[in-house]
């Protein structure tokens, strides 16, 4: 375990430990008489050589969350998004499209389906950014539409955005379904070939 004290950090370092091991070899040579009267130089030289050949210290690699941890965090964010959406008043068509999207995202976030980082990124972007921005922008634009009427209704944009997000999530679900079908077919072939041999 790394310490903050520089002296202790040096004492625990690979260079010092390797140098000490080589220095002990030098002491063994001195006690056997092989180093002669220059034994202090032999011990110091072997220590220095050991310290030089030792591999450099490497900082510990950062521990990033794995796919399961990221999925758990995404589920928590999805629950918070649902709370927010429950408080927003939406037109019937947009609310229906949002309900379909919500159902599809919930199914994709179920354990055991999405583990690929790219697929997880698509879901995270939809949950943490796209849906929130679409609904929040609708709420703000709707207020301005009441003050300055005559522009294109914000409901239309919201429905189009939710439709695009639903299509993206549906494509992800279709890719997962295809992957599972291929996996099933591969397993069937494997079992059939194993039965023949």
Report pLDDT digits (tens) over 161-178.
999 999 999 999 898 888
Give the global pTM.
0.63
* 97-113 per-position pLDDT tens digit: 999 999 999 999 888 78
* 140-152 per-position pLDDT tens digit: 887 666 556 666 7
Residue for token pair 């375990």: 1
Q: How would you class 117 by CB atoms within 10 Å of its CB: exposed for 0-12, middle for 13-18, buried for 19 or more? A: exposed
* 20 C-beta neighbours (distance < 10 Å), count: 15
Listed as ranges, residues in the chain with pLDDT below 70 are 1-3, 143-151
Asked if 108 contacts 126 with a C-beta cutoff of 8 angstroms, the reply is no
Q: How would you class 172 by CB atoms within 10 Å of its CB: exposed for 0-12, middle for 13-18, buried for 19 or more? A: buried
Instruction: Name the DSSP letter for residue 130.
Output: I
Domain locations in the chain? 6-53, 67-196
HSE-up of 104 (CA within 13 Å, CB side)? 22
């Amino acid at each position: 375990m790394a310490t903050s004290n520089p002296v202790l950090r040096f004492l625990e370092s690979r260079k010092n430990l390797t140098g000490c091991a080589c220095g002990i070899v030098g002491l063994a040579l001195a006690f056997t008489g092989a180093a002669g009267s220059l034994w202090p130089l032999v011990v110091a030289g072997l220590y220095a050589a050991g310290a030089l050949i030792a591999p450099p210290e490497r900082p510990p690699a950062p521990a990033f969350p794995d796919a399961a941890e990221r999925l758990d965090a995404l589920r928590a964010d999805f629950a918070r998004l649902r709370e927010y959406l429950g408080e927003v008043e939406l037109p019937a068509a947009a609310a229906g499209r949002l309900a379909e999207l919500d159902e599809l995202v919930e199914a994709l976030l179920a354990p055991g389906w999405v583990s690929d980082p790219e697929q997880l990124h698509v879901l995270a972007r939809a949950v943490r950014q796209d849906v929130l921005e679409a609904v929040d922008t609708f709420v703000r634009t709707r207020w301005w539409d009441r003050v300055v009427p005559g522009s294109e209704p914000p409901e239309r944009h919201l429905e189009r955005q939710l439709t695009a997000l639903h299509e993206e999530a549906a494509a992800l679900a279709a890719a997962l379904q295809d992957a599972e079908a291929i996996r099933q077919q591969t397993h069937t072939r494997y079992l059939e070939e194993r039965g023949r041999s």
